[in-house]
Amino acid sequence: MAIKIQTEEEIKDISSRFDDLLEHCTHITDPEEIKLITKAFQFANEAHSTMRRKSGEPYIIHPIGVSKIVASEIGLGAKSIISALLHDVVEDTEYSLEDISLNFGEGISVIIDGLTKISGVFDKKSSIQVENFRKLLLTLSDDVRVILIKLADRLDNMRTLESMPRHKQLKVSGETTFLFAPLAHRLGLYTIKTELEDLALKYQNPKVYNEILQKIRESEKKRLLFINKFALPIIDKLKEHNIDFDISGRPKSINSIYSKMELKKVKFEEIYDLFAIRIVFDPNPKIPEKVQCWNIYSLITDIYMPKPERIRDWVSTPKANGYEALHGTVMGPNGKWVEVQIRTIRMNDIAERGFAAHWKYKNNGQGESELDKWIKKIRELLDNPNSDALEFIDEFKLNLFASEILVFTPKGEIITLPKNATVLDFAYEIHTEIGNKAIGAKVNQKLVPLSHALSSGDQVEVLTSDSQRTQMEWLEHAITAKAKSSIKSSLKAESKIRVESGKKILEEKLGEIGLHPNSRIIKKLMQGYDSASKEDLYLKIGGGIISLDNIKKILRKNTKSKWIRYWELTYSKNIQRGKKQVPEEKAQPKIDLGKPLVIREGIDEPGKNYRIAKCCSPIPGDDIVGYKSPNETIIIHSSNCPTATKLMSSHGNLIVSTRWTSHKILSFLASIRIQGIDKIGIVNSITNVISHDLNANIRKIAIETHDGIFEGTIELYVHDTKHLNNLIMNLFKINGVVSVNRMEAGKE
């Protein structure tokens, strides 16, 4: 293959992009650092000179793009910018870490080494992916810049994902939704997290993404007029009080709007808080920032009526990722609710740049932050060598909680936990031994069980007993990684003790009847006592589930006569000689993951190599993806199904892009929820529209009425999304029907 040298036009473009990068390094004023950045660019450009991206453009454009994100969107220093420029050199070219160290120093070499080690995290088989993900997280406590540059690398890749094949787009966007966006959020990189989520939605569900984007653009003029009308009285009021501020209005992210539409089952037009007004002010150093935020909120509520239940005070208690702001919702012109966010310049810097700004303001006399504590928790999780790789990712996800609650110990110490955390989570957060010995708790002086879900402001006193033993069902009550990991470790330790005890008891019992344990005896006992394995048998004996009083009977019962053993042996040989042929299962056709799979008519015909997932039950017209299971069957999921997102992340190499073809002769099960005003004959009108007008078969219908309102669910068979949408539109036309929505499989 011929090496494609950079053209003159490309050289000019590369030079222009690098000049643009330098212009965004406004916080770097040392000429020596600028020289070193220029040297790194020249070094990387030379190293990648013959390489090209999938789009065909010179590869060096990618490191420049990553460096620009690192410089302007995260706000890191010269070392990080240099590392971003060089981040692929060691992995993809002939240069070594020694070359990097020689030219740019040991510090840069260490960061490049970290980036090189984790570069393949999401490019190999799933078990390797999740194990390498551990390595990626280890850098959190070694040098967090490695993670930040990796996030910038992922953002640049997402911005240029259109040149990749469909199955790769699904794999990369699935990983992004599942791990990278939550990680960005936890590190306080809210802007990057938002863009990652929007770009992932763009490739996972392009139809929905484009529809929302179009509606945002169509409503832009109206929105700007409304923002100006809303902001003018606030501007006058703040100027009157000599406050130095900046005010802006921006729409919520596309993914945020989509999530709200899905959660509330409403249309785009029915979402009232499509945008937020942000006020960023320069505080008076003599007055506490918290007081000034509340003063501004008070001035705004002098103009507009507030919604008290929508106040979010992250000034008094910042989020675990360092985010600080005061959010309130007020009634604006034309009866529209508007969210107002109030921040100081410092708070805004932390909100926009996350972890980098957090370190900048760290020595503010506030001691150890929630973010520091979180990194310690991740280290504890990584230090557990026994956790299963996939379980580890699930547990890590639990640590990326976006919503926190604050609860108190009896002495008044604040403990931060994820929303929906239980007493058991609280107990393990205090200490592993307290969790292992917990029997219940007093929450606000009331006795509650370990499964009790806590709320912000609760005061919790854990009750313990030395005789308490860790229970298997506790895993259902705990949601934090620390609690789950501790419970599993305790159960494993107890199991090991019981296995050893059971083995000893069995040996003693067999000795009493003149036998010694061997594989034949153990196999008979496993059958007799319904045990899946030798360890399972020992565990049941050690735990007292099995008593060996009838051991002689079990051994006699499972002893076959010599004649039966002779017959089985002969029959087995006959099969091997071909006298008795066992029909082999028909081999599934080989699947090419690089080509789109077309779901054709006759989905239930013999020999098919795909099936519809029950978790989301997609129907023709839905955006779908396929997952190749271990038995070579493709399982078809809706592209926005949570299970599909997890599979795209942890098994990206087994994802195949999939599309529907015509299915007019087939029917697919769908569910709808319907609500309205209760009238005589309303149910009859509904069933007539479904059965007679649109030729759909009803599988199940459940309608309830109360206080003049009816609501219910209907399961019915449709051909595709067009058929279902026509049916929903016709149901809307019935006098008295207020809302009709498709239900997601498995959700009420």
Virtual torsion, Cα 607, 612, 615, 616, nearest 10 deg: 170
Catalytic residue among 10, 13, 33, 92: 92
DSSP notation for 11-49? HHHHHHHHHHHHHT-TT---HHHHHHHHHHHHHHHHHTT
| Whole-number Å distance between alpha carbons of 83 and 89 | 10
Reduced to 3 states (helix: H, G, I; strand: E, B; else coil), residue 117 is: helix
Residues in the chain: 748
Q: What residues have CB less than 8 Å from 497, skipping those under 6 apart?
A: 542
Catalytic residue among 20, 30, 46, 91: 91
Smallest Cα–Cα separation from 546: which of 533, 536, 558? 536
429 tagged catalytic: no
User: Are 711 and 675 contacting, i.e. CB atoms less than 8 angstroms apart?
Assistant: yes
User: Are 428 and 482 contacting, i.e. CB atoms less than 8 angstroms apart?
Assistant: yes
| Whole-number Å distance between alpha carbons of 293 and 342 | 6
Smallest Cα–Cα separation from 628: which of 89, 19, 167? 167
Smallest Cα–Cα separation from 279: which of 338, 335, 359, 226? 338
536 tagged catalytic: no
φ/ψ (deg, to 5) at 546: -110, 130
Smallest Cα–Cα separation from 146: which of 102, 177, 108, 193? 108
* Beta strands per DSSP E along 539-662: 597-599, 610-612, 624-628, 634-638, 655-660
User: Are 327 and 311 contacting, i.e. CB atoms less than 8 angstroms apart?
Assistant: yes
Q: What residues have CB less than 8 Å from 447, skipping those under 6 apart?
A: 440, 441
| Whole-number Å distance between alpha carbons of 582 and 643 | 37
Q: Which amino acid is at 742?
A: R
Virtual torsion, Cα 678, 684, 690, 696, nearest 10 deg: 130
Give the count of beta carbons closer than 10 Å to the beta carbon of residue 672.
19
Q: Which amino acid is at 383?
A: D
Smallest Cα–Cα separation from 18: which of 76, 54, 58, 75? 58
Alpha-carbon distances of 168 from 242, 255, 650, rounded to whole Å = 54, 21, 13
Query: Quick one: residue 355, left, alpha or beta (phi over 0 = left, psi -120 to 50 = alpha)?
Result: alpha
Catalytic positions: 91-92
